[in-house]
Amino acid sequence: MSKPKILIARAVFPEVIARLEQHFDVESNQDDHTWSKAELIAHLQGKAGAFTTGGDRIDSDVLAACPELKMCANMAVGYNNFDLDAMTAAGVLATNAPDVLTETTADFGFALLMATARRITESEHFLRAGKWTKWRYDMFAGADIHGATLGILGMGRIGQGIAKRGALGFGMKVIYHNRSRLDAALEAECQARYVDKEELLKTADHLVLVLPYSPASHHAIGASELALMKPTATLVNIARGGIVDDAALAAALRNRTIAAAGLDVFEGEPSVHPDLLSVPNVVLTPHIASATMPTRLAMASLAADNLIAFFTGNKPLTPLNAAVLAIK
């Protein structure tokens, strides 16, 4: 009996490919080309499954052109590259890779917060440019982290990890806003207090965004929200591009509406709004919050586990539209 055909849409660990080849006829993109929609459709012809990353858009056009496709496994916790409604209507299962990146991403979120608050990137550029000639009392004086108020918008697993790091490691007062409030035991574990969004914006010394992207969260932070924040506040986005209005943020940074920002995600990435590149008070990283080798391998392995489970008649570990399984 022939093996099901799958596509690995971006470069991935060779050992993960070798494992998948035990179960599938694999086409892999180890040259890591960034395909257009037409090219993705062409490579998906005859494929029953796909191993995707956050940049591989699976929508109604792709599904209509690829009728043999039955399952897509995302090597990411986010899945805004999937049109879940269209996938469910087409009977195509979607999975993601949550949990395995929680602690690593929370580490990075806190690192980005610290770099932003303490002006590390800005001061390094100053030093590398040969501008450091003397000490001055206010040279790159930033904001304290210990004892400050940490605000978190989006209190899932990663948000909770950041809250614990702030409260337990730095004695921060933690406030949060979320679509639904955590239960009392979890709030106590995170030492976090629930507030409405307006109070979060007005009160936080350091605001970290960890909410999923959806049409409802598009530009959740725009000019009006930034205007509510303290002029000494910092903003960190490790969630998804599009949650922040990048043009409005660049203007707020230039006008010192807020003190600084740290961004790992961007609207239209890998493109970055040019205004963000011209303001000094922002730390910019290329979507690397989960980028440690053990974590990225765990993410890839979970995507592989989902593909193998689905095509061997077992239940995938992390389905996003489990209703598809019920009708198979």
As annotated, the active-site residues are 240, 269, 287
CA-wise closest residue to 259 among 288, 293, 283: 283
Sign for the CA dihedral angle at 197, 76, 33, 9 comes to negative
Residue reference for tokens 């936080």: 204
The number of helices, as runs of H, and strands, as runs of E, in the chain is 15, 12
For Cα atoms 258, 261, 262, give the angle at the middle one, nearest 5 degrees. Answer: 170
In whole angstroms, give the CA distance from residue 119 to residue 283.
Answer: 8
Residue reference for tokens 């979507």: 287
Q: Is the distance from CB of 237 to CB of 88 less than 8 angstroms?
A: no
191: left (phi over 0), alpha (psi -120 to 50) or beta: left
In whole angstroms, give the CA distance from residue 215 to residue 69.
Answer: 26
Q: Is the distance from CB of 151 to CB of 127 less than 8 angstroms?
A: no
Structure tokens at 189: 């574990």
Three-state DSSP state, 120 = helix
In whole angstroms, give the CA distance from residue 243 to residue 210.
Answer: 10
Following DSSP, what letter does each residue of 210-243 receive, concatenated?
Answer: -PPP-GGGTTSB-HHHHHHS-TT-EEEE-S-TTS
Q: Is the distance from CB of 302 to CB of 100 less than 8 angstroms?
A: yes
